[in-house]
Structure 1
Amino acid sequence: MTFDYAKARETMVEQQIRPWEVLDPRVLEVLARLPREAFVAERHRALAYADLELPLGHGETMLKPVLEGRALQALALEGSESVLEIGTGSGFLTACLATLSREATSLERHADLADAARGRLQSQGLGNVEVATADAFVWEPGRQFDAICVTGAVDAVPSRFVGWLRPGGRMFVVHGRVPAMEAALLRNDVNGHRIESLFETELPYLAGAEPRPEFKF
């Protein structure tokens, strides 16, 4: 019996993504079309459309589909933007961002994950995306972006990330500490940036963005 990935994809969109108030037609279309199973390790393919974080190696995980949908909707990409993703992981969200924008750049610290993601993106015929093997706290882009998607949590939003946003740009980021961690949209407005709270969630911290240990005497 062969697994019906197309049916699983449709079920994911209708039973997971839509009920979580993801209603942007462009986002729903890309999630209904891109084969998520192609970005998942062979042994986890049957779980590609489940409401789960899937392991990728190095302690990294693939975001749940609902979180990917909410992030994409919050960024409201129209097709003309240059996008930066911090944390490539499997490359699936990267593929969504590249499909919805003019061009995408993605950073991944682990060379093997970056290589695997490049191969998956190429197999989908996406030529407008670059995956760089780099640490976001060392990397220097030498340019700014219209939108940034941060796929790991941060204790506080790093100023260097905000500096990479063009005026009028926006960033999806999960910040804070459990139990008060929240997803937010940061907008780089003329009078400085402002943060709009979206929903509560929990994510593992981006390496280098964890809370500093508190010394107790």
Structure 2
Amino acid sequence: MPRPVPAPGAADDDLVRAARAMGVRDERLLSAIRDTPRARFVPAAYVSAAGTDTPVPLGHGQVTTQPSLVALMIHALALNGDERVLEIGTGYGYQTALLARLAARVVSVERLPDLARRARANLAAQGVRNAEVVVGDGTLGLPDQAPYDAVVVCAAHPEVPPPLVTQLRPGGRLVQPIGPGGAEEVEVYERSERGLDRLGFVVAARFVRLYGAHGFPSEAAPLTPRGGP
């Protein structure tokens, strides 16, 4: 028998408090966290843990990003509501749903087809109509729908993939964990005429590796949890 999935409530208020404790002050973002039931974006076995500020497993050696870390990364994008956002790494779609509340359009690329299917179903069940989930190599972006006003990458690599830079409009922001996978510094950048300018450090965290043509070449190395402390 399926586990009951709660509507937004006290558990999501706890996630708002966790985001505030990490320094998030954007009331639009905090409202989006409060109104988006994380329990709808985790596997059924982990519904009871959805209200805690911790990652939960998704299979394939993947885990969800810690909610307060999701909040910090979105906060660094400085969205105002008019943007077209490219997300690399969909998971079960929780961050996608938050972005969809804060931007005009979200396009998310997920490399694992079963996760993409689950994310699409989760987003549809929540009535999210301004987000699209595509299966593909996130390091290539999606040039057919570029340019993007913001890009958020949910996996680690020592460098930003060049296609993501070229698909970001001048003045747009990009957030990515920079590192080898397992010990990262999440950085925020802005596209300028010169290319990509680093704006600053967001937070230290641990992420899985970014695989693809402009990422790591294989999955031979052990995966580390995405978004852990």
Considering the TM-score relative to the shorter chain, is it more than 0.5?
yes
Aligned to 2:168: 165
Give SS of 2:138's match: coil
Counterparts of 1:55-204 in structure 2, within 5 Å, are 55-138=57-140, 140-142=142-144, 143-177=146-180, 181-195=184-198, 196-204=200-208
Give SS of 1:51's match: coil
Q: Distance in 2 between matches of 1:211 and 1:198?
A: 27
Q: Which is greater in Rg? A: 1
Q: Distance in 1 between matches of 2:134 and 2:108?
A: 6
Residue type of the alignment partner of 1:46: S
Q: Distance in 2 between matches of 1:19 and 1:108?
A: 30
* Gaps in structure 2 of 5+ consecutive residues: 221-229
Q: Return the TM-score normalized by structure 1.
A: 0.90
Contact 1:53-1:61 at 8 Å conserved across structures: yes
Change (3 A) 1:180 1:57: closer
Q: Distance in 2 between matches of 1:133 and 1:87?
A: 10
Residue type of the alignment partner of 2:210: L
* Gaps in structure 1 of 5+ consecutive residues: none
Q: CA offsets per residue over residues 159-193 of structure 1, 9 Å max, x none?
A: 11111101111111000247862011110023332
Contact 2:158-2:178 at 8 Å conserved across structures: yes
Contact 1:155-1:211 at 8 Å conserved across structures: no
Q: Distance in 1 between matches of 2:39 and 2:201?
A: 31
Q: CA offsets per residue over residues 33-76 of structure 1, 9 Å max, x none?
A: 10110011111001112222111111111000111010111011
Q: Return the TM-score normalized by structure 2.
A: 0.85
Q: Distance in 2 between matches of 1:139 and 1:86?
A: 8
Aligned to 2:226: none
Q: CA offsets per residue over residues 75-128 of structure 1, 9 Å max, x none?
A: 111110000000100100001111110001000111111111111111111111
Residue type of the alignment partner of 2:76: A
Contact 1:144-1:164 at 8 Å conserved across structures: yes
Change (3 A) 1:116 1:37: same
Residue type of the alignment partner of 1:198: V
Q: Distance in 2 between matches of 1:6 and 1:140?
A: 36
Give SS of 2:9's match: helix
Change (3 A) 1:198 1:211: farther
Give structure 1 regions of 4+ aligned residues with deviation exceeding 6 angstroms: none
Corresponding pairs, count: 211
Backbone CA RMSD of aligned residues: 2.1
Aligned to 2:19: 17
Question: Which of 213, 216, 222 in structure 2 is aligned with 1:210?
Answer: 216
Contact 2:84-2:149 at 8 Å conserved across structures: yes
Q: Distance in 2 between matches of 1:172 and 1:133?
A: 21
* Aligned sequence identity (%): 36
CA drift at 1:25: 0.6
Q: Identify which range, 184-193 or 43-52, moves more after superposition.
A: 184-193
Structure scoring higher RCO (CA < 8 A, sep ≥ 6) equals 2
Q: Distance in 2 between matches of 1:115 and 1:176?
A: 29
